[in-house]
Amino acid sequence: MTLKRPPYQPRDATRAVTIRDVARDAGVSVATVSRALNHRGHVAEAVRLRVREVADALRYAPHPGARNLSSRSTHTLGVVLPVLHGEFYSSLMRGIDQVARSHGLHLLVSSHHGRRDEQDAALQALRGRVEGLIVMSAAHAPGEDAGLLHIGVPAVSLDDADAAGMSTIAIDNRGGAVAMVRHLLSRGHRRIAFIGGPAGQPEAVARELGYRQAMADFGLEEWVVEGAFDEASGHGACAGILRQGLRPDAVFAGNDLMALGCLFALTQAGVRVPQDVALVGFDDIPLAAYAHPGLTTMRVDAAELGRRAVRLLLSSTGAIADPDIEPGLLATTLVVRASCAAAEDPEA
Amino acid sequence: MTLKRPPYQPRDATRAVTIRDVARDAGVSVATVSRALNHRGHVAEAVRLRVREVADALRYAPHPGARNLSSRSTHTLGVVLPVLHGEFYSSLMRGIDQVARSHGLHLLVSSHHGRRDEQDAALQALRGRVEGLIVMSAAHAPGEDAGLLHIGVPAVSLDDADAAGMSTIAIDNRGGAVAMVRHLLSRGHRRIAFIGGPAGQPEAVARELGYRQAMADFGLEEWVVEGAFDEASGHGACAGILRQGLRPDAVFAGNDLMALGCLFALTQAGVRVPQDVALVGFDDIPLAAYAHPGLTTMRVDAAELGRRAVRLLLSSTGAIADPDIEPGLLATTLVVRASCAAAEDPEA
DNA sequence: CTGTTAGCGCCTTCAG
DNA sequence: CTGAAGGCGCTAACAG
């Protein structure tokens, strides 16, 4: 026989009220409290009411960690993105948040800044905390696994690169770029310059690929200038283009921010848009509509991507049955504004 | 004597590896594994190495919920904001993320869309999951408590309204607006119209208050037009102003988005900025610098606010000692660009 | 319908 | 330096 030890007391003085306190005050067992509060099993209505009352009076709230431990459910989703700021990612977050919240799920977010090591750390840290994962992965070589293998929970990828059989849903950047070039071609433009994004960034790569593909399909010469997806680089790239001997018919900026940078550069240089040169972007950020002239662009609905990602994730866990949600690409929408008037439309 | 029951088995087939598995394979007790892995207490170096090895081989990772339950630490911070998208909030998130990550803390985020009930739900849901809270609260009447009382963890508020002795750090919107008006006055402007933001939104309120205060101090007549902090409303408000008989010397838009909307409206109407009317905004969003003309504005460093909020939170928990971080207001910075030329500077 | 009790996975005394 | 065992707060069998 061992002696009775002093009770284990790591608890601090301001201990939260537990299910035991409620049980004691309500004169029932903890099991009954649990059942009453979770509407699980059958509990006499009178008892349920009393328990509810006591719980409220005590300001009782179940300890999520404990609940998680014993029921193996965390009610939270992990979101791992390259970064958390900017129009695209914050809209994406909003979409994710909307659907997650409507299903009573929390969001544990993390960013990896495009670095594989940070991504690994983030995923590792999320292990056991989340019941599902939405990941836009760091750049990785085509052959290399994206590091999303041993996760142990359902996950959906927001990259084109479909990692190890994971569900994937992504913006069709390549298709959008192809469509944009075709639009320019249909308007009679032939010398089309493209301002690309940061090397290796998936979106930038996909858009440039689309541009190259569409130009090649038409047997036209490619004209790619480097950019960085921000206004400054759009401004700079455009200035560079203007310094060339041959002026393009149209400039296709890899995103709207760069397109706006271009627009200001062109305006400053006295080059008229769209009379002297057509200008198009990609993303359809709010300002695209208010620029002067309005910017023709390819709308990307990041919030919708987020919503679909969560639904896809939930449907894969069986939490919801949503037959409309399927892995694949989310199409972009061409938005035609004044910055790219028809070349065969002289009065533009 | 009770009969031996069948072992409790809610675990699914794909059970994660636990500390017990590591202990067994390493031929030691779970306590030793715990000590070895957490560098707590003394463990023979050889044993530590072997445990480490086995743990790695098994891809063991401690279960956060269990750890939380027994050690009462979650290593996560809760962030509750009105919304998650937009330039300001996403920059704020980035700042918070930076510092949190550098301290090995996770972020549980939630938005309440300015609604008190959603905020309460969010805070309730975070209880027990987080060790600290950063909150920008929903609009609440001056007297009413902000609903941040019974949280039970250290918290910092990002509102001016200092709730129940909580630490507060916020952008000095009012001071910034006052400074902006003074700047306009110093440039010789007197008829200054102000485009406000959504009613009740704390930032909007503070900025309008600053404008009114500064105008009153100078004995000038106020001229406030309603807006909604987006480009469209800026455009509309400006059009409304132009329809008035008397044109203002200067238009002070409550934020840059509206200022840009104004700029386009003015351009379309053939009104020159800054020759015919000066235009200033608030926020210093990236595009402000690339607008034509460049937009004079009041820079708000949201990321810095986020960084400071986390540091303030951590210093209040004693996690870090950072004497430089103190509650209070974060000053804004006047950024002078071409949209508001000196009235007494004719060649502008 | 309700109470009892065995864990969930981990950390932490205490004894050896 | 290491092992055994209790307990964190809760849920889920099972017995009554």
pLDDT at A67: 85
In a domain, A338, yes or no: no
pTM beyond 0.75, yes or no? yes
Spatial distance from the CA of B74 to the C1' of D5 (Å): 25
Q: How far is the alpha carbon of A128 from chain B, nearest alpha carbon, in Å?
A: 6
pLDDT tens digits, residue range B205-225? 999 999 999 999 999 999 999
Q: Which residues in chain B are closer than 8 Å to A289, comparing Cβ atoms?
A: 231
* Residue A325 or A218, more confident: A218
Mean pLDDT of the residues in chain A: 84
pLDDT at B1: 35
Q: Does B127 touch chain A (CB under 8 A)?
A: yes
Count up the domains in chain B and report the number: 3
Lowest mean pLDDT among A10-19, A153-162, B122-131, B242-251: A10-19
Enclosing H/E stretch for B252: strand B250-253
HSE of A333, CA atoms in CB hemisphere, 13 A: 9
Contact across the interface for B110 and A111, Cβ inside 8 Å: no
Instruction: Give the residue ranges of chain B where pLDDT is below 70.
Output: 1-15, 138-151, 160-165, 317-327, 342-348
- Same domain for A83 and A46, yes or no, is no
Contact across the interface for B106 and A108, Cβ inside 8 Å: yes
| Alpha carbon distances (Å) from A41 to A27, A44, A73 | 19, 10, 18
Query: Does residue A9 surpass a pLDDT of 50?
Result: no
* Residue B98 or A161, more confident: B98
In a domain, A4, yes or no: no
In a domain, A8, yes or no: no
> Which strand C nucleotides have any atom less than 7 A from protein CB atoms?
1-15
Enclosing H/E stretch for B92: helix B87-102
Q: Does B73 touch chain A (CB under 8 A)?
A: no
Nearest beta carbon to residue A90 from set B86, B264, B286:
B86
Nearest beta carbon to residue A90 from set B89, B107, B286:
B89
CB-strand contact A242/C, under 7 Å: no
Q: Give the nucleotide at minimum CA-to-C1' distance from B34.
A: C11
- Same domain for A278 and A315, yes or no, is no
Name the residue closest to the C1' of D15 by its CA.
Answer: B2
Query: Does residue A207 surpass a pLDDT of 50?
Result: yes
- Same domain for A137 and A126, yes or no, is yes
Spatial distance from the CA of A126 to the C1' of D8 (Å): 22
- Same domain for B197 and B290, yes or no, is yes
* Residue B348 or A16, more confident: A16
Question: From residues 21-80 of A, which are strand C contacts by CB within 7 A?
Answer: 27-32, 35, 41-44, 46-47, 66, 69-70
B132 burial level (CB within 10 Å; 0-12, 13-18, 19+)? buried
In a domain, B2, yes or no: no
Query: Does residue A62 surpass a pLDDT of 70?
Result: yes
- Same domain for B294 and B307, yes or no, is no
- Same domain for A33 and A101, yes or no, is no
Query: Does residue A10 surpass a pLDDT of 70?
Result: no
- Same domain for A311 and A231, yes or no, is no
Q: How far is the alpha carbon of B219 from chain A, nearest alpha carbon, in Å?
A: 36
Question: Token pair of B244, please?
Answer: 């008035």
Q: Does B65 touch chain A (CB under 8 A)?
A: yes
Q: Which residues in chain B are closer than 8 Å to A261, comparing Cβ atoms?
A: 290
- Same domain for B295 and B147, yes or no, is no
Name the residue closest to the C1' of C7 by its CA.
Answer: B8
Name the band, by pLDDT with cuts 50, 70 and 90, for residue A119.
Answer: confident
- Same domain for B140 and B222, yes or no, is no
pLDDT at A346: 40
Q: Which residues in chain B are closer than 8 Å to A292, comparing Cβ atoms?
A: 264, 267-268
In a domain, A12, yes or no: no
Q: In whole angstroms, what is the distance from residue A81 CA to residue A101 CA?
A: 19
Q: Does B111 touch chain A (CB under 8 A)?
A: yes
CB-strand contact A332/C, under 7 Å: no
Q: State the residue for tokens 């399909």.
A: A217
pLDDT at B146: 55
Domain of B45, in residue numbers: 19-62
SS3 letters across chain A: CCCCCCCCCCCCCCCCCCHHHHHHHHCCCHHHHHHHHHCCCCCCHHHHHHHHHHHHHHCCCCCHHHHHHHHCCCCEEEEEECCCCCHHHHHHHHHHHHHHHHCCCEEEEEECCCCHHHHHHHHHHHCCCCCEEEECCCCCCCCCCCCCCCCCCCEEECCCCCCCCCEEEEECHHHHHHHHHHHHHHCCCCCEEEECCCCCCHHHHHHHHHHHHHHHHCCCCCCEECCCCCHHHHHHHHHHHHHCCCCCCEEEECCHHHHHHHHHHHHHCCCCCCCCCEEECCECCHHHHCCCCCCEEEECCHHHHHHHHHHHHHHHCCCCCCCCCCCEEECCEEECCCCCCCCCCCCC
Q: How far is the alpha carbon of A164 from chain B, nearest alpha carbon, in Å?
A: 18
Write out residues whose CB is closer than 7 A to strand D: A 2, 5, 7-8, 10-11, 15-16, 18-20, 30-31, 34, 37-38, 40, 60-63, 66-67, 69-71; B 3, 5-6, 10, 27-32, 35, 41-44, 47, 66, 69-70
In a domain, A346, yes or no: no
Name the band, by pLDDT with cuts 50, 70 and 90, for residue A254.
Answer: very high
Name the band, by pLDDT with cuts 50, 70 and 90, for residue A271.
Answer: very high
Which of A8, A41, A62 is the C-terminal boundary of a domain?
A62
Q: Which residues between 250 and 309 in chain A have a beta carbon less than 8 angstroms from any beta carbon of chain B?
A: 257, 260-261, 264, 267-268, 286-287, 289-292
In a domain, B322, yes or no: yes
Q: State the residue for tokens 């238009």.
A: B251
In a domain, A342, yes or no: no
CB-strand contact A287/C, under 7 Å: no
Contact across the interface for A110 and B107, Cβ inside 8 Å: yes
- Same domain for A312 and A167, yes or no, is yes
Spatial distance from the CA of A30 to the C1' of D11 (Å): 10
The CATH number that applies at residue A86 is 3.40.50.2300
- Same domain for B101 and B153, yes or no, is yes
Spatial distance from the CA of A307 to the C1' of D10 (Å): 32
pLDDT at A275: 93
pLDDT at A214: 97
Q: Does B238 touch chain A (CB under 8 A)?
A: no
Q: Nearest residue on chain A to B111, judged by CA atoms? A: A97
pLDDT tens digits, residue range A45-54? 888 888 888 8
Which of A258, A282, A300 is the C-terminal boundary of a domain?
A300
- Same domain for A194 and A266, yes or no, is yes
Q: Which residues between 156 and 215 in chain A have a beta carbon less than 8 angstroms from any beta carbon of chain B?
A: none
pLDDT at B180: 98
Contact across the interface for B69 and A72, Cβ inside 8 Å: no
The CATH number that applies at residue A42 is 1.10.260.40
pLDDT at B151: 64
CB-strand contact B41/C, under 7 Å: yes
